[in-house]
Amino acid sequence: MHKSLSSSESKCCRVCVSLGIRSYSIIIGPNAMEEAVIADHIFGHRLMVVTNEIVERLYFETVVQNFKDFQVDKIVLPDGENIKTLEGLNVILSALLKGRHDRTTTLVALGGGVIGDVAGFAAAVYQRGINFLQVPTTLLAQVDSAVGGKTGVNHALGKNMIGASHQPSIVISDTMTLKTLPKREFAAGLSEVIKYGLIADKCFFDWIEDNLDGLLSHDSNLLTYAIRVSCQIKASIVSQDETEQGHRAILNFGHTFGHAIETFLQYRDWVHGEAISVGMLMAMRLSVLLGGISETDFERLKVMLKRCGLPTSPPRLMTVQDFNLNMMRDKKVMGGQLRLVILETFGLATVTAEYGASNLQKVLTINCVAQ
């Protein structure tokens, strides 16, 4: 049950991602950086902080205070999804080489999911892998992208198509950083929080519904709690299926539709969580057609997403054909067959190829205004 909160939520809490000798902690809460014993997670004496121009201005000086005993270099990338490319990766690798960094350097990914993904990928491939820390500063990164070790970049022909699995040695999620997050980015992060309720914990969904106003006004206790539960759900799934041989794919609920939107828009105009908002509604509609979800629950989700200020229908110019084309480039396509994540029931997701092609086309037709 998710009930009212005690004042202890205003302090930091810890969630463990259990992966044998590669297990690590996620520290969550206000001033989490001070709680984390960072030195325990750095093996050499050199650090490379990878961040972007916005986050650098806001948080670099504060973060560096915690690295006083180390030699710190930094790479400041431009803002935006468009640096999550092989070119962006090359900028990081070149800076590491020019600075003569060796395998004992620890890389620190300071920023949202874009920085976390591209910097994590650089850590995975630089000299066949170096240590890295995730210091996520968006809600989306704190509840999702910084946890679980998926790193990578986009290709013009598909989202997240090039990457590696590389776990951080710690994730430090300072909830105070969310205070400066633009409203739109905060809402985008909430879409992933809502996802956890849908795929794994109906009571958590009920709790979000009851506490949404508080979450939207950045209540610190509620936020820490929502991030903690989200991370617990993700950590549990990742611990069972780190390399996504099966079950982990449920974390991609709505993402096949969402990634198709992002690819169609060439990673411009919409942010990731907005595309996922629409994608989840489309996956929910498919689940209604398959009989696992009621019309009432579909409407509950729609109302919740609207309350967050998230979009509930695809870009106006996107056609059924655009979806079909871009969805077939999803990583869940196997042997030419697209698999999708659906809800068997509220709070229980599964990945399946047995959704019926006509049901999928019905979902696309209902949702696309353009033909």
| Nearer CB in complex with ligand GLY: 59/132 | 132
**Shortest Cβ 228–ligand NAD spacing (Å):** 18
Specify the stretch interacting with ligand GLY by CB under 6 A; choose among 71-79, 200-208, 246-254, 272-280: 246-254
Q: Coil, helix or strand for 15?
A: strand
Determine how many CB atoms are found less than 10 A away from the CB of residue 358: 9
**Shortest Cβ 258–ligand GLY spacing (Å):** 11
CA 133/CA 108 separation, integer angstroms? 5
Indicate whether 181 belongs to the interface with ligand NAD (CB under 6 A).
yes
Question: Active-site residue among 166, 234, 285, 302?
Answer: 234
> Which 63-122 positions form the footprint of ligand GLY (CB under 6 A)?
none
Indicate whether 114 belongs to the interface with ligand NAD (CB under 6 A).
yes
| Nearer CB in complex with ligand NAD: 84/339 | 84
DSSP for 255-275, written as a single string: HHHHHHHHHHTTT-SS-HHHH
**Shortest Cβ 250–ligand GLY spacing (Å):** 9
Indicate whether 150 belongs to the interface with ligand GLY (CB under 6 A).
yes
| Nearer CB in complex with ligand NAD: 176/289 | 176
Angle (nearest 5°) at CA 310 between 308 and 313: 145
CA 201/CA 219 separation, integer angstroms? 22
Query: Which position among 148, 152, 163, 197 is part of the footprint of ligand GLY (CB under 6 A)?
Result: 148
- What does DSSP say about strands 340-345 and 348-352: parallel, antiparallel, or unpaired? antiparallel
Question: Active-site residue among 9, 81, 242, 244?
Answer: 244
CA 13/CA 158 separation, integer angstroms? 36
Specify the stretch interacting with ligand NAD by CB under 6 A; choose among 13-21, 214-222, 266-274, 278-286: 266-274
**Shortest Cβ 111–ligand NAD spacing (Å):** 5
**Shortest Cβ 206–ligand GLY spacing (Å):** 23
Token code pair at residue 6: 């005690």
Size of the site for ligand NAD (CB under 6 A): 30
Indicate whether 177 belongs to the interface with ligand NAD (CB under 6 A).
yes
* Phi-psi category of residue 82: left, alpha or beta, with phi > 0 → left and psi -120 to 50 → alpha: alpha
CA 285/CA 359 separation, integer angstroms? 9
Ramachandran angles phi, psi of 52, nearest 5°: -125, 175
Pick one of ligand NAD, ligand GLY, none as the site partner of residue 304 (Cβ within 5 to 8 A by kind). Answer: none
Query: Which position among 211, 224, 252, 277 is part of the footprint of ligand GLY (CB under 6 A)?
Result: 252
Name the residue among 305, 310, 311, 142 with its Cα closest to residue 226.
142
Indicate whether 242 belongs to the interface with ligand GLY (CB under 6 A).
no
Query: Which position among 41, 101, 248, 272 is part of the footprint of ligand GLY (CB under 6 A)?
Result: 248
Alpha helix (H) ranges present in 130-271? Answer: 139-140, 183-200, 202-216, 220-240, 255-264
Residue 285 vs residues 207, 291, 324, 361, 366: alpha-carbon distances, Å: 22, 10, 17, 11, 9
28 contacts 35 by C-beta, under 8 angstroms: no
**Active-site annotation holds for 259:** yes
Question: Active-site residue among 41, 101, 228, 272?
Answer: 272
Catalytic residue numbers?
A: 128, 150, 192, 234, 244, 248, 252, 255, 259, 272
Q: Which residues bind ligand GLY (CB under 6 A)?
A: 144, 148, 150, 248, 251-252
